[in-house]
Amino acid sequence: MDIPSYEDVLQAHQRITPYIHRTPVLTSSYLNQLSGAEIFFKCENLQKVGAFKARGASNAVFGLSDADAVNGVATHSSGNHAAALSFAAARRGIDATVVMPNNAPATKKAAVKSYGGRILECEPTQAAREAMLEQVITETGADAVHPYDDPRVIAGQATCALELQQEVDQLDAVVAPVGGGGLISGTCLTMSTISPQTRIYAAEPANADDAYRSFHAGEIVRQDAQQSVADGLKTNLCPLSWHFVSSFVSDILLASESEILDAMYLTWQRMKIIIEPSSAVPLAIILKNKDLFQGQRVGVIITGGNVDIKNCPGCK
Amino acid sequence: MDIPSYEDVLQAHQRITPYIHRTPVLTSSYLNQLSGAEIFFKCENLQKVGAFKARGASNAVFGLSDADAVNGVATHSSGNHAAALSFAAARRGIDATVVMPNNAPATKKAAVKSYGGRILECEPTQAAREAMLEQVITETGADAVHPYDDPRVIAGQATCALELQQEVDQLDAVVAPVGGGGLISGTCLTMSTISPQTRIYAAEPANADDAYRSFHAGEIVRQDAQQSVADGLKTNLCPLSWHFVSSFVSDILLASESEILDAMYLTWQRMKIIIEPSSAVPLAIILKNKDLFQGQRVGVIITGGNVDIKNCPGCK
């Protein structure tokens, strides 16, 4: 297993900085009052392609040698990583092929197409995705960039916590969502190196609690077909992300579907930013576990803002 | 007529900086592509109280001597200025009284109350507002802080363009909405001093086009009971704002109700920020007058984000 180092994070940051936004860190007096904590929101919803995934994908794409890049890149993803890889490939002028389940939301397909990615549809199962990706790689020689099970991607996602820490130090805790574990792994990698006293919490939907179960079982527990409004968090941990989660995460906390949606609308209404349901899980767990964060400086990573506003669950 | 100077703007900036957010300037590749311009959005929707009005109100409140401050402040306003004055007064520990029309939206009343402002309701006419405010001032000795017809307020709003210019120079144009004219006046005051080559455009709803008519008539044209989804822009110019508009504005451009709403949703969906309808008028006029802005660096002031998302016109 190829575990990325902090040196990889610094290299990634240098590599991707020309292609990504330096996203702002926002605060809200209202949410501070409500939570009893002082919360610093790193707003990756305002990132290129509307999600932190632009970081990991850009690091993978721009880290390729010219010889390796010429055959393009490929991935399977139903969401933001697919758009991010298409975006980064277009910036480098190479092809991106994305294997997507045929039930992926139209907005996510449109995003991939708008960045010039080629979509191949498959049945909505993990096996079908992997088989079709394998076929693409065999046929094209493309470099496979997994959404999270890739050290280059994790080093890229780690730059998010790096920038947060550059602007706001002495954080008592950082909270980030956990799905496949790319972002939380990057967060662990950065924070454990430059601010080891900061506690790291993973926030997960109770409806897709494979990481929570893994954490308590002491080994990866896989769960298929998890369903949550936080559609970015339905994936399972992999050995690489499990390494970081099991080594550095203080706890994994769960939020219900309605708690997630409440936190999402609260953020829309009070912070004036659009966040997708996955991004609301950290605030939901902060508001529900006040004793853990009372009086503390807490960093939150807002992971993305790609949601169909007019058709969002519970919006009406 | 007491016309604020650029020196007043610098003093205002120093005075209010401890109490307000330094709001980010955001860009969107998508909107740049769509418009053919390079647009820099100064995001005052992410300001305290969700609007630039925090600037002018804070400048007025914190500029008062202790002797003058002791009786509190008062205003008549149906919107963001009322919340902003309540916010600033609470920060200084003095009373704020707000005369509001009895048909003001519940969300705006709630905002004033949440900042500790006292609301007095009146009939929804200009005359009723002014009479009741006069009475409040007589009874309490409060300092009247008009939403825009006040040099302290204009100097405060001018700090917005100052910060924009500090981050993004060599702007070919700046576009800001015009209602009563406080923001556009402050924008004129700053830009005409530090970047006189930058053209200044005022953006106005076609349904509330008193400033447009004034501009073309060469004198203030008042229009009563203007109705627009951009509810912050229904007010008329005053002599002080007319001074700035007539002296420094290159043109006033109009947008229809549907163009405003389209630009608003486009901003929500693509920039991942919540803006209120009034804030969408500049983007609407940029998208409809592409020849004016093609290939240019354009600053846009996003004025606020106070909109009831679940009950927003056309949202469903």
Note whether A110 and A165 are same-domain residues: no
CB contact under 8 A, B274 and A275: no
Query: Does the residue A242 lie in any domain?
Result: yes
Is the residue at B149 inside a domain? no
Based on the fold, state whether residues A167 and A85 are members of the same structural domain. no
List of chain B residues whose C-beta atoms are within 8 Å of the C-beta of residue A113 = none
The reply to whether B189 and B158 lie within a common domain is: yes
Question: Do B278 and B129 share a structural domain?
Answer: no
Final residue before a domain boundary, out of A144, A169, A191: A144
Q: Do B227 and B135 belong together in one domain? A: no
Is A198 within the bounds of a domain?
Answer: yes
- The answer, for B310 touching chain A at a CB cutoff of 8 Å, is yes
Same domain for A99 and A217: no
Asked whether residue A72 is domain-assigned, the answer is yes
Give me the tens of pLDDT residue by residue for chain B, a chain 316 residues long.
Answer: 899 999 999 999 999 999 999 999 999 999 999 999 999 999 999 999 999 999 999 999 999 999 999 999 999 987 899 999 999 999 999 999 999 988 887 878 888 999 999 999 999 887 898 899 999 999 999 999 999 999 999 999 999 999 999 999 899 999 999 999 999 999 999 999 999 999 999 999 999 999 999 999 999 999 987 899 998 899 899 999 999 999 999 999 999 999 999 999 999 999 999 999 999 999 999 999 999 999 999 999 999 999 888 777 655 4
Q: Same structural domain for residues B204 and B79?
A: no
Residues B171 and B296 reside in one and the same domain: yes
A252 touches A181 (CB < 8 A): no
pLDDT digits (tens, 9 = 90+) for A63-114: 999 999 999 999 998 789 999 999 999 999 999 999 998 888 787 888 899 9
Domain span including residue B68? 54-144
**Do residues A245 and A219 make contact, with C-beta atoms less than 8 angstroms apart?**
no
Distance of CA B208 to the CA centre of its chain: 15
Look at chain A and report how many structural domains it folds into. 2
* Domain identity same for B134 and B263: no
CA distances from A91 to A58, A73, A85, A268, B103 (A): 9, 13, 10, 31, 51
Same domain for A11 and A88?
no
Task: With H, G, I as helix, E, B as strand and everything else as coil, classify residue A203.
Answer: strand
CATH number for position B138: 3.40.50.1100
Q: Smallest CA–CA separation between A243 and chain B, in Å?
A: 33
C-alpha distance from A35 to closest chain B C-alpha (Å): 16
Torsion from C-alpha of B99, B103, B108, B112, nearest 10 degrees:
30
Q: Is residue A118 part of a domain?
A: yes
Contact B24/A at CB under 8 A: yes
Collapsed DSSP state (helix, strand, coil) of residue A287: helix
Q: Let me know if residue A316 belongs to a domain.
A: no
**A interface test, pick of B33, B40, B47, B272 with most A CB neighbours within 10 Å:** B272
Q: Are residues A45 and A88 in the same domain?
A: no
pTM for the whole structure: 0.94
From A46's Cα to the closest Cα of chain B, the distance in A is 6
Would you call A34 an interface residue with chain B, using a CB distance cutoff of 8 Å? no
Residues A27 and A133 in one domain: no
